[in-house]
């Protein structure tokens, strides 16, 4: 694998983890949202990753020999959780139903924070892989001096 392919694979991981962190941030920010434009409480979202063949330009396809495809990661979907909301008795709340219950999103803050830590660590690992690739490319250039 050449340096540019390694950089593209790592950058796909960075993009996917950034999307995951944005989705988790949205979940945390809306943990108490009881009214959305769609109606009802906010629904937790989660990204779906999929392994995809590494994209190559047409020139690369023509100039290289067939080989085992390098895989990259891509966000293919954002899943909306359909778990039942958490009902809390708050008869004075403006979004309370006739029985006095308010529907809150079924979001566990500890689970979201754990997911955020995982996404941050995966992002950092991809940054480290890109830096190592860059360092190897620079060392290869220095050898040729």
- Average of per-residue pLDDT values in the chain: 88
Q: Which helix (H) or strand (E) holds 77?
A: strand 71-80
Per-residue exposure over 75-101, b if at least 16 CB sit within 10 Å of its own CB, e if not: beeeeeeeeebeeeeeeeeeebeeeeb
Q: Residue 110 pLDDT more than 70?
A: yes
pLDDT attached to residue 53: 77
pLDDT attached to residue 8: 86
Bridge partner list, 101: 89
Q: Residue 97 pLDDT more than 90?
A: yes
What band does 5 get if pLDDT is binned at 50, 70 and 90? confident
User: In whole angstroms, what is the distance from residue 132 CA to residue 142 CA?
Assistant: 15
* Helices within 1-145 (DSSP H only): 3-29, 58-63, 109-143
pLDDT attached to residue 60: 61
What is the residue extent of each domain of the chain?
Answer: 3-143
Give the angle subtended at the CA of 86 by the CAs of 76 and 100, to the nearest 5°.
140
Q: 3-state DSSP call for residue 116?
A: helix
pLDDT attached to residue 58: 59
pLDDT attached to residue 115: 96
pLDDT attached to residue 68: 59
pLDDT attached to residue 71: 79
Task: Give the torsion sign (CA, 20, 120, 16, 115).
Answer: negative
When pLDDT is averaged across residues 96-117 and rounded to a whole number, the result is 95
pLDDT tens for each residue of 22-74: 999 999 999 999 999 988 999 999 999 998 876 656 566 556 655 556 778 88
Bridge partner list, 71: 53
Task: Give the torsion sign (CA, 12, 15, 19, 24).
Answer: positive
What band does 141 get if pLDDT is binned at 50, 70 and 90? confident
């Amino acid at each position: 694998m050449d340096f540019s392919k390694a950089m593209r694979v790592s950058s796909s991981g960075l993009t996917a983890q950034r999307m995951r962190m944005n989705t988790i941030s949205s979940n945390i920010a809306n943990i108490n949202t009881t009214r959305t434009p769609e109606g009802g409480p906010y629904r937790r979202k989660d990204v779906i990753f999929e392994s995809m063949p590494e994209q190559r330009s047409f020139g690369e396809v023509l100039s290289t020999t067939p080989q085992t495809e390098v895989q990259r990661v891509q966000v293919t979907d954002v899943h909306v959780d359909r778990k039942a909301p958490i009902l809390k008795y708050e008869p004075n709340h403006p979004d309370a139903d006739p029985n006095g219950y308010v529907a809150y999103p079924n979001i566990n803050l500890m689970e979201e924070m754990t997911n955020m830590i995982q996404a941050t660590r995966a992002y950092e690992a991809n940054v480290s892989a890109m830096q190592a690739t860059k360092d190897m490319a620079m060392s290869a250039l220095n050898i040729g001096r």
